[in-house]
């Protein structure tokens, strides 16, 4: 074992380590559910879990897919194939929930599977269609799912969350104990014994693709189509098509899935406009001449662009928090912060995903630690102040 750059390197491979973690989770929990999205990370998670479950006599593996309606058709086709696997016991949710629409300032939400609407496609014959969970929000749904179906039973949800994708995840999954001394998860309901665990948390995206290739695991072919289109490997997404981190997929959706594009533009406002833009449309590179500074421009957009009172307060609260936390940072990084804020508003990022990712990485994370009195390398201090 050695330590390099804050990481601890072991003699075992990440594949071996992940298998041991899944074996341990089967030993600890009578109920294990794999959250599946059709993406590469959840594919590796599910396939490893199936192998371990077969060895332990725990087949079929309970699997949860939350269908967000505005999905790639290729993803849905792949989910259907996974569902046919006799080793998989899939709970396919096509229930009314609402998701932020990052492509429109007029229609903030997609009401997924809303009764009486013309959906993107018909519901699956075996899908669960009634929302019995007491929430219509995606993030809250998973905890509510455990509480509803495993109210008096110990249960764990596992998924393909990886530290590499977010500095905030790196901190969260390596710093705080979740369950029996392990950090690579999240507490859901400790009293009930409900947890989320991420056995592939230390994998790189290259580890994911190597494992898929080496084991010949079936994967969603949308990745092939995106690769053929020239999309960077780290930028490929299978999440719903109007998500704040997936807008770039609208630039080539029409070329890859014409029928999906047509249905999506009919279902939601803002899609056609966003699809004809490039990523630069959600960024501001030059300060408009009529403003004295980026903060003034940010606050102007907040008052004029975000008209819904609740959403206005969401952004205003986050801006106040960042202004306080990074007060005194160099003008160069302060400007960068304001531009991140502006980009988040332009993308309708009400989840604050873009802001959280930026403010928990690099110089901003170091500056926060420095203000808390923690040690920061001198070279980072120099960067913070110039």
Q: What is the mean pLDDT of residues 20-47?
A: 98
Q: Which of 57-61, 164-168, 282-286 has the lowest mean pLDDT?
A: 282-286
For residue 95, whether the previous peptide bond is cis, meaning omega lies within 30 degrees of 0, is no
Residue 238 near residue 38, CB atoms below 8 Å: yes
* Residue 364 within a domain: yes
| CA-to-CA dists, residue 88 to 29, 246, 279, 286, angstroms | 18, 28, 38, 52
Does the pLDDT value for residue 97 go beyond 90? yes
| Of 162, 188, 205, the domain-final residue | 205
**What is the DSSP secondary structure assignment for residue 140, as one 8-state letter?**
H
Q: How confident is the model at residue 82, as a pLDDT? A: 98
| Token output for 253 | 């959706």
Residue 130 near residue 170, CB atoms below 8 Å: no
Note the pLDDT tens digit of each residue in 198-213.
999 999 999 999 999 9
| Of 150, 175, 205, the domain-final residue | 205
Same domain? For 45 and 193 the reply is yes
* Residue 212 within a domain: no
CA–CA distance, 166 with 200 (Å, rounded to integer) = 14
CA–CA distance, 359 with 341 (Å, rounded to integer) = 10
Q: What DSSP assignment string belongs to 259-315? A: HHHHHHHHHSSSHHHHHHS-GGGG---S--TT-SSHHHHHHHHHHHH--SHHHHHHH
Does the pLDDT value for residue 246 go beyond 90? no
Q: What is the CATH number of the domain that holds 125?
A: 3.40.50.620
Count of the separate structural domains present in the chain: 2
CA–CA distance, 285 with 346 (Å, rounded to integer) = 13
Q: How confident is the model at residue 298, as a pLDDT? A: 93
Same domain? For 176 and 44 the reply is yes
Same domain? For 313 and 173 the reply is no
* Phi, psi dihedral angles at 116 (to 5 degrees): 90, -5
Same domain? For 74 and 185 the reply is yes
Q: Which of 13-22, 99-108, 156-165, 234-243 has the lowest mean pLDDT?
A: 99-108
Note the pLDDT tens digit of each residue in 251-294.
678 778 889 888 888 887 655 444 444 444 455 778 888 899 99
Q: In the predicted model, what is the mean pLDDT of the chain? A: 86
Residue 235 near residue 279, CB atoms below 8 Å: no
* Residue 283 within a domain: no
Which of 97, 96, 78 has its CA nearest to residue 88?
78
Q: What is the mean pLDDT of residues 15-25?
A: 98
Residue 328 neighbours by CB under 8 Å, 6+ apart: none
Confidence of residue 248 (pLDDT cuts 50, 70, 90): low
Does the pLDDT value for residue 229 go beyond 90? no
* Residue 185 within a domain: yes
Residue 67's domain comprises: 2-205
| Token output for 109 | 């939400």
* Residue 28 within a domain: yes
* Residue 335 within a domain: yes
Residue 349 near residue 342, CB atoms below 8 Å: no
Does the pLDDT value for residue 315 go beyond 80? yes
Strand partners, 187: 195
Same domain? For 58 and 174 the reply is yes
| Of 184, 205, 226, the domain-final residue | 205
CA–CA distance, 78 with 92 (Å, rounded to integer) = 13
* Residue 264 within a domain: no
Does the pLDDT value for residue 383 go beyond 90? no
Same domain? For 300 and 191 the reply is no
Same domain? For 23 and 132 the reply is yes
CA–CA distance, 10 with 7 (Å, rounded to integer) = 10
CA–CA distance, 70 with 239 (Å, rounded to integer) = 9
């Amino acid at each position: 074992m050695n330590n390099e750059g804050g990481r601890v390197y072991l003699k075992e491979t990440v594949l071996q380590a992940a298998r041991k973690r899944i074996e341990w989770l089967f030993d600890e929990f009578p109920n294990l559910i794999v959250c599946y999205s059709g993406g590469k990370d959840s594919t590796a998670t599910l396939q490893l879990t199936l192998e371990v479950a077969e060895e332990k006599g725990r087949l079929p593996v309970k699997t949860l897919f939350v269908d967000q309606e505005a999905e790639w058709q290729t993803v849905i086709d792949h989910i259907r194939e996974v569902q046919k696997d006799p080793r998989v016991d899939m709970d396919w949710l096509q229930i009314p929930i609402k998701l932020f629409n990052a492509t429109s300032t007029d229609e903030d939400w997609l009401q997924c599977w809303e009764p009486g609407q013309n959906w993107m496609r018909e519901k699956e014959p075996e899908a669960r269609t009634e929302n019995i969970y007491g929430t219509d929000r995606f993030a809250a749904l998973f905890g509510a799912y455990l509480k509803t179906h495993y109210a008096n039973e110990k249960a764990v949800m596992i998924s393909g969350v990886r530290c590499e994708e977010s500095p905030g995840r790196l901190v969260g999954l390596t710093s705080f104990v979740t369950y029996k001394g392990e950090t690579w998860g999240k507490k859901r309901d400790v009293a009930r014994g409900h947890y989320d665990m991420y056995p592939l948390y230390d994998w790189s995206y290259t580890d994911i693709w190597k494992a898929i290739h080496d084991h010949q695991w079936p994967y969603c072919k949308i990745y092939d189509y995106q690769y053929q289109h020239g999309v960077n490997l780290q930028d490929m997404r299978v999440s719903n098509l109007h998500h704040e981190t997936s807008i770039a997929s609208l630039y080539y959706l029409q070329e890859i899935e014409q029928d999906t594009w047509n249905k999506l533009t009919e279902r939601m406002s803002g899609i056609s406009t966003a699809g004809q833009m490039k990523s630069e449309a959600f960024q501001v590179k030059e300060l408009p001449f009529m403003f004295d500074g980026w903060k003034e421009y940010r606050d102007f957009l907040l008052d004029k662009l975000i008209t819904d009172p609740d959403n206005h307060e969401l952004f205003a609260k986050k801006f106040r928090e960042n202004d306080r936390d990074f007060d005194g940072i160099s003008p160069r990084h302060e400007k960068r912060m304001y531009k991140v804020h502006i980009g988040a508003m332009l993308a309708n990022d009400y989840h604050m995903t873009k802001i959280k990712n930026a403010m928990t990485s690099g110089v901003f994370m170091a500056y926060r630690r420095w203000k808390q009195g923690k040690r920061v390398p001198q070279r980072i201090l120099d960067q913070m102040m110039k």
